[in-house]
Structure 1
Amino acid sequence: MKILAYLAFVLLGVVWGSNFIFMKWAADYIAPQQIAFLRVLCGFVPLVIFAVLRREVHLRDMRHIHHFVVMALLATAIYYFAFAKGTALLLSSVAGMLSGAIPLFAFVTALLFLRDERPTVKSLCGVALGFAGVVLIARPWQIDAGQVGEGGVSIAGTAYMIVGALSVGGSFVYARKFISPLKLSPLALSTYQIGIATAIFALATDVSGVGAVFDDPKTAIGLVVGLGVLGTGLAYILYYFIVDQLGAVAASGVTYLPPLVAMAIGIVLIGEPVAGLDVVAMVAILFGVFLQQIGRRAVPLTTIKPPPESRGHGRLLTPDARQSALEVQVKASKA
C-alpha cells in the first residue's frame, strides 16, 4: 500500500503541474472566468459522488454555510480565477513556477493573524528568499505594467498569480480559526467548498461563447478531463489517500512538484522560452519554502476537547498537528 501511496504522490504532482498548460490552451478560446467555472463544475461532479458514497456529506452541516462560503471564495473562486487570468498572461511554465510561492503567503498571513505562529530567523530568511524569487521572475525593472518582456513575463500576470496565492494562503488562516472547531472531515468540507464555488461561478459567469473551447478537441479534453476531473476532482481523492497512508506532513511535500512539472512541460514538451533567471528564481522560491517549513518554531502540546456531537474522545494534539490536518482541506485545491 505504501508503494501505491508514493505512486499517487508522483501522480498528484504531475496532475497539478499540468494544470497550467491546460489553462493556457483554454485561454485561447474562452475567458479566464469561464475556465474557472468549467473547472469547478467538472471537478465537483466526481468529488460529490465520492463524498456521497463515503457518506461524508450531511444536511445538518449547512448550519455552517457562512463559513463554507468564505472558504469557497478564498480557496476556490478567487484562487482559480486569478490563476486562470495569470496563466493567460504568462507562459505556463512561469505561472507554474510562481505557484510554488503559495506556502510563503500562507505563512505570512498566519504570522499576521494567528497569535501562536511565531517567526524564527530561519523561517523569515526562507520567506525573504522566496519573495526574492518572485521578484526575479517578475523583473519589474525591465518592463511596463501589463507588457510581456523576456521569458514571457507580464507584471499584470504576475500580480494575478500573487492575488491567487494570497487568497488561498489566507484561507489557511480562516480554516484554522473558524473551520477547525467544526470537526468536519476534509472530504466533506472540500465538497461543500467546491459546490458553493460552482454555484457562485454559475451565477456570476457570462457563458456566451463558452462552447468555443470545444471546437478544439485537445483543449476541450485538457479543460474538462485534465483541469476539471483530474486537476480538481481526482486531486482531492488522491490527496486523501496519500494523507491516510503517509500522513499530512509528508503529503504536503507534494506542493514542491507542480512548479517543476510545469517548467518541464513548458520547456521540453511545449518549447516555451524560459529564461535562465526564471529557473534560478524558481529554485529560490522552493528553497525559501523549504527553509520556512523547517524553521517553524515548535510549540508545547495542548489538550483539545471535541465538541459534544463528536463521536471521538479527547486527545493530545499540537497546534502544528491541527494545522497539518487543516492543510488537507485547503491544499488539495491548489492550482
Structure 2
Amino acid sequence: MIRTYTAFFLLGLFWGSNYIYMKWAAPLISPAQISLLRVFFGFVPLAILARRRDVLRLDQVRYLHHFLVMAALATAFCYFSMAKGTALLPSGIAGVLGGSPAIFTSIASTLFLRNEKMNRSMVCGVALGMAGITLIARPWSALSSDDAISLAGVAWMIAGAIVFGLSYIYVRRFLSPINLAPLVIVTWQMGLALLILFVLTDLHGTGQILQDWRATAGVVIGLGFLGTGASFLLYYFLLQDLGAVVASGAVYITPVIALLIGWAAGEQIGQLEIAAMFLILGSLAILEIGRQRTVQSQAVPVPSAVTLD
C-alpha cells in the first residue's frame, strides 16, 4: 500500500511541476518546440513498455483515424496550448488553471452524451469552477493594472481545457467500445502526436535550449520522461490498484504543487490566487461527488474525467 500511495503523490508532483519546466524553457524556444520535445521524451518510455509487453498489433491500424483525432486534439493541441499559456502567465497561475479541464468535461458530457447529464451538485461545481477561473483571470483589471494577468494566456489555458473536454466525449463514443488496453491507445496517440508536431513545428533555434542546463533538464527529464511518460504509467498503475475515482484524485494535488513551486520560484502569489485555487479545487470535489451520485442512481460505471498535465 505504501508503494501505491507513493505513486499517487509522485503523480501529483509530476503533474504540478510541469508548469515551471515550461516556464523555464519559454524564453529559449517556442511553445511548439516545447511541446515537440515533451512528446518525444514522453513517448520513449511508453514505446519501450509497449514493446516489452508486446501490446501493439498491426490490426490496430484500422483504428488509426481515431488515434489521429486524439493525437491532434488531446495531445498536440492541448500540450501546445499549455505551453503557450504558461509562457504568458506565472507558472503557479497556469497550474491552477491546468486543473480546470474536468469542469469543461462535465459541460461537454451534458451537451453531447445522453446518459451523462449534470445533476444539481455538478451544476454547482461548474459554477464554482467558473468563478475560480474568473477570479484568477480578473478581467476587470486588464486595462487598469500594471500587474494584470494576461488574458491571452488564460484564453490559451482554457482553450486546452475545452478541447480536452471534447476529447473525453470522443473517447467515450468511439474508443471505449473498441476495448483496447490504455497503454495501446496512449502509445499510438503519443507517437502520432509526435509526427504531427514534427511536421508542423519550425525546428529552427530548438538547440537554444541547450544554453540553459536547467531548462534542458526540465524539458527532457521533468516535462518529458516524468511529467508525461512516467505520469501516464503511474496513472494507469493507480487505475488498476485504486480505481478511477481515487486515481483521478491526483488532479487535486496538481494546482497546489504548481502554486507552491511558483511561489518558491519568486512569483507573486496573492489572496486572489489562493482563493481561486480553493474555488477550483472545491469545484472538482463537488463535480466528483455529483458524478458518483449519478453512477449510483444509474448503476452504470461513469469514468472520472482526468487531465494528464
Superposition TM-score tier, normalisation by shorter sequence: over 0.9
* Shift in Å, 1:300: 3.1
Q: How does 1:20-99 map to 2 (within 5 A)?
A: 20-99=19-98
Provide structure 1 residue ranges, at least 5 long, that are not aligned to the other structure: 302-317
Residue in structure 2 matched with residue 334 of structure 1 by the alignment: 308
* Distance in 2 between residues matched to 1:167 and 1:138, nearest whole Å: 19
Match of 1:170 among 144, 166, 170: 166
CA gap 1:252/1:170 in 2 versus in 1, 3 angstroms: same
Return the TM-score normalized by structure 2.
0.96
CA gap 1:182/1:149 in 2 versus in 1, 3 angstroms: farther
* Shift in Å, 1:52: 1.0
Match of 2:242 among 229, 242, 246: 246
**1:196 and 2:192 matched:** yes
Give deviations 1:205-232, integer Å, cap 9, x for gaps: 0000000001111110000110001111
CA gap 1:251/1:141 in 2 versus in 1, 3 angstroms: same
* Distance in 2 between residues matched to 1:139 and 1:155, nearest whole Å: 9
Give deviations 1:306-331, integer Å, cap 9, x for gaps: xxxxxxxxxxxx241xx35xx5xxx4
Return the TM-score normalized by structure 1.
0.89
* Shift in Å, 1:262: 0.3
Residue in structure 1 matched with residue 265 of structure 2 by the alignment: 270
* Distance in 2 between residues matched to 1:214 and 1:112, nearest whole Å: 45
Aligned length: 306
* Distance in 2 between residues matched to 1:198 and 1:115, nearest whole Å: 34
Q: How does 1:179-328 map to 2 (within 5 A)?
A: 179-267=175-263, 269-296=264-291, 297-298=294-295, 299-301=297-299, 318-320=300-302, 323-324=303-304
* Shift in Å, 1:148: 8.0
Residue in structure 2 matched with residue 315 of structure 1 by the alignment: none
User: Any conservation in 1 of the 2:231–2:308 contact (CA below 8 Å)?
Assistant: no
Residue in structure 2 matched with residue 119 of structure 1 by the alignment: 118
User: Any conservation in 2 of the 1:83–1:164 contact (CA below 8 Å)?
Assistant: yes
CA gap 1:116/1:148 in 2 versus in 1, 3 angstroms: farther
CA gap 1:155/1:3 in 2 versus in 1, 3 angstroms: same
Quote the sequence identity (%).
47
* Distance in 2 between residues matched to 1:173 and 1:231, nearest whole Å: 24
- Find the residue that maps to 1:141 and give its secondary structure: helix
Amino acid at match of 2:23: K
* Distance in 2 between residues matched to 1:168 and 1:119, nearest whole Å: 18
* Distance in 2 between residues matched to 1:271 and 1:178, nearest whole Å: 45
* Distance in 2 between residues matched to 1:48 and 1:171, nearest whole Å: 22
* Distance in 1 between residues matched to 2:289 and 2:228, nearest whole Å: 28
CA gap 1:252/1:149 in 2 versus in 1, 3 angstroms: farther
CA gap 1:259/1:149 in 2 versus in 1, 3 angstroms: farther
Question: Over the residues paired in the alignment, what is the CA RMSD in angstroms?
Answer: 1.4
User: Any conservation in 2 of the 1:98–1:134 contact (CA below 8 Å)?
Assistant: yes
CA gap 1:242/1:91 in 2 versus in 1, 3 angstroms: same
* Distance in 1 between residues matched to 2:88 and 2:162, nearest whole Å: 18
* Distance in 1 between residues matched to 2:130 and 2:146, nearest whole Å: 20
User: Any conservation in 2 of the 1:83–1:161 contact (CA below 8 Å)?
Assistant: yes
Amino acid at match of 1:334: L
* Distance in 2 between residues matched to 1:290 and 1:238, nearest whole Å: 22
